[in-house]
Structure formats: C-alpha cells, structure tokens
A and B are shown apart, each in its own frame.
Chain A
Amino acid sequence: MKDPQKDSPRVTFDLGELMARVENDRELLRDLLMISKEELPKHLQALREAVMSGDGSNVASVAHTFKGMLANLSANHAAEVAAQLERMGRNRQNSGFEEVLVTLERDVLTLLRELNACMAGVSS
C-alpha cells in the first residue's frame, strides 16, 4: 500500500497567506520569490556550518534569521523546525542538531522547488 504522505507532494508554504501578506501584489511576490531563491541556500549553508561547529549560540543566531525568512514566506512547518534549532542552540544543547537540520534541509529543498513552480506561474 502506498503511503499518501510520501507520494503526494507536501505543500510546504501557504500561498493564500503569503498573498494576503503581500496584499495581492504580484510584483512584490515575484521579488520575494527571487530573494528567497538566492538567500535560502545561503542561509541553509550558514546553518549547516554553525551546526558543524557545535557553537550553540551561533546556531541560535543563524536559525533565528532563517526562521524569520521562512515565516515571511508562510513556510510554517520549516519555520517551526528552524525555531526548534534556535531553541536548542539557545539552550546550549550539544546533540540532536544534525537530526533536526536534516528535516529542515528536506523541507527547504521541497520549498525551493515549490517556490520555483510558483515563480513560473507568477511570471507567466
């Protein structure tokens, strides 16, 4: 039996909420999508490096900025995972970062694909 969660594409951001945030301004939406295409991989890389270094306060700081960006995109699940990393970093946890980071990476990669598709729709 197929796992519906696995086979159906999971929606990683709430387009309706995002449209309300940009007040239905498609030009602004396109700007945000372009920024996210450029910035999300950079932030993810920075977060990866912070996790590798094991520096909790650095993880908290990078995760905080990343969380804000994801929340602005209404990528609520990914934002919650970033918030979890931020809390762990702030609480000076020494372990468990990698596992949460993997979840976040998977979410962000899916998000980037969906944002690309959305951008194609906005541009046309």
Chain B
Amino acid sequence: MRILIADDESMSRRLLQKTLERAGYDVVAVENGRQAADLLCKMDGPRLALLDWVMPELDGLGVCRKVRKNKERSYVYMVLLTSKEAKEDVVEGLESGADDYLTKPFDPEELKARLRTGLRILNLEDRLVEAREEMRFQATHDGLTSLWNRGMIMELITPELARSHRERTSTAILLCDLDHFKKINDTYGHLAGDDVLRETAKRLLSSVRSYDFVGRYGGEEFLVILNNCNPSYGFARAEELRRAISQRPVQTSSGPVSITLSLGLLLSHEWGRQPVEELLREADAALYAAKAAGRNCVRIAHPGGAHQDQSLPAGVPVRQNP
C-alpha cells in the first residue's frame, strides 16, 4: 500500500519513512502541504496519508480540506501528526476532514496500529465500491449473456438516434431472432439452450465494433445498434452477423447444435425523427418478413412498407464513413 508522508522537518520525515518502509509500506515523502495536496488529489495518488499539522505553503488542515473537496477520487485516509494536544486543536483537526491524529513524537507501534485501522476502512470502502459496481452491472446487463439488458439497450438507442440525426449520418437497428429456438430447447434441453444463447451473444459481440451496442431484447431476441453507420456498412454487417451465427454449430453440454439467425434491419436516416418505439416496430416487421422468407436471412425495413432482402440501394443521402 502506498502512503504519503508530508513533513517539512527532515528528521521526522526520515524517521517516518524508514519506520513505514520496514512495515511494508511504499512511501512517498514530500516537504510541504501543497505537494501533498497535489499528489493526494490525483486519481491514482496514495490513499493513505500522514500529514504534519504545521507545514509551509499549506498546513495539514488545509491539505485535509482540499482533499475532502475533491469528490471524484476514492477515499483518502488521512492522519494528522501534531504536537498540539489541546482538545480544541484535536476537534479542529478532525473537523477539517482528518480521520485520526497522532501526537509527536510518535510511538512506532501506535503509528502502525492506527494505520492498520486506516487500511481496514479503505478495505471496507473497496468492498462497498465493488458491491455497488456489481449491482450496477446487474442492473444494466443480462444475467445469462452479460450483454446489455433490454432496459439499458433501450436507453442507449435514444441518444444515438439523436446524434446520428444531428450529424446527418445513420444508426442501424438490427433486431435478430434465433430460428427455431423453442425446438432447440425441446430437443436438447434448457441448459443447451442457455449455451446457445451465450455463444450467440459472444459471436454477435465479436462481429461488431467496440463502440456498437449489443443487447438481449427478449428470450431469443437480440438488438444490435451500429453507431455512425453508413448503409453499405449496415448491410454488410447484418450479413456478417448472420454468417457468424450459422457458420459452425454451437458446442453445448448436449453436443453440437446448428443454429441460424433471422434479422430485421432498419437504417435511421430513412425514417426522419420517428420515435424509438416506432422504429423498433418497423425493425420487428422486417424481422417477421425474414422469418416468412424462410429464416436465416436479412430483411430491410423501408418507409414504404416493403421489406427488401439486403442489397445496397443507390444514392443514399448520408455521409459515407470508413
């Protein structure tokens, strides 16, 4: 664990540094409060600090106040070192944001014990942050496939459509459905069905760019959003996704299972400012057309109502992206 020592007095600094290095700390030592505050406010700065109360440029109290104002970085546990022992001094020190204080000259065992308390607090904070991140992940991702869940992918579409409209480009909405999934479940069992869903998610993710979105929309339905997408890329990517799913069987706990995917594709620039629900309804209609056309194919939603098979229409008025 890295620890910062701030003390303008060289003997005290040396004593602290050696004592803490012997206790296994990685020590960063500075001579004034300004340097201490700068380091502690960095996102990757030390999270444990021993600060002398009286220092040039910025005293220990000033460092504590500055660090506590910075809400973005993770918690920093700060111990004030002081020869001030009056009750009002201690209160002032703790009110400035210090977690603890230690009277100089320090006893090495007491110093280490107090820092162990700090480590326990930081460890607890780490566990809380981890739990919060885990909950955030669970709230936004599908438990089986780890893709975005339906709620999150719906939240992601709206700003993306607004951006592509503003920048006069296009967003591709791809509604995808595994063919005959019920039959897979009935034939191979639900565990094999889960294997198929997980592998489908993996193949979809590996077939799009890092900044595209892939979500699980329903049981065996997936929603893919291709951002900043020109039509030719949209068509090619839809076909690529279809091929990625059908090209080889999925290895499941019940043996290899061949699967195919039907896709409904919609390019937002053709639809003006339609609500998301309307666009999804149209993509769903194109998906239905792909199913009706024999499955394992892509159909495109056009404002006229006809659902074409995929072919690049000429003269599409959008910016062409690389």
Contact = CB atoms under 8 A, between A and B. Distances in A.
Determine the interface band of chain A, counting residues with CB < 8 A from chain B.
20 to 34
B126 interface: no
Given A32-B14, A74-B105, A23 B22 contact: yes
B8 A72 contact: no
Given A21-B105, A23-B108, A68 B18 contact: no
Contacts of A72: 11-12, 15, 104-105
A101 interface: no
A45 to B, nearest CB: 16
Tell me whether chain A's interface is mostly helix, strand or loop, or mixed. helix
A39 B22 CA distance: 25
Interface string B2-28: 000000111110110011001000000
Contacts of A73: 11
B295 to A, nearest CB: 76
B90 to A, nearest CB: 17
Contacts, number: 54
B54 A64 contact: yes
B83 interface: yes
Nearest to B106: A21
A39 to B, nearest CB: 6
Given A71-B83, A72-B15, A35 B10 contact: yes
A107 B107 CA distance: 24
Contacts of B108: 20-21, 23
A69 B12 contact: yes
- Top 6 A-B pairs, shortest CB-CB distance: A71-B105, A28-B18, A35-B11, A72-B105, A69-B11, A72-B11
28 contacts: A20-B107, A20-B108, A21-B15, A21-B106, A21-B108, A22-B15, A22-B18, A23-B19, A23-B108, A25-B18, A28-B15, A28-B18, A31-B14, A32-B15, A35-B11, A39-B10, A39-B11, A64-B54, A65-B54, A68-B83, A68-B105, A69-B11, A69-B12, A71-B83, A71-B104, A71-B105, A72-B15, A72-B104
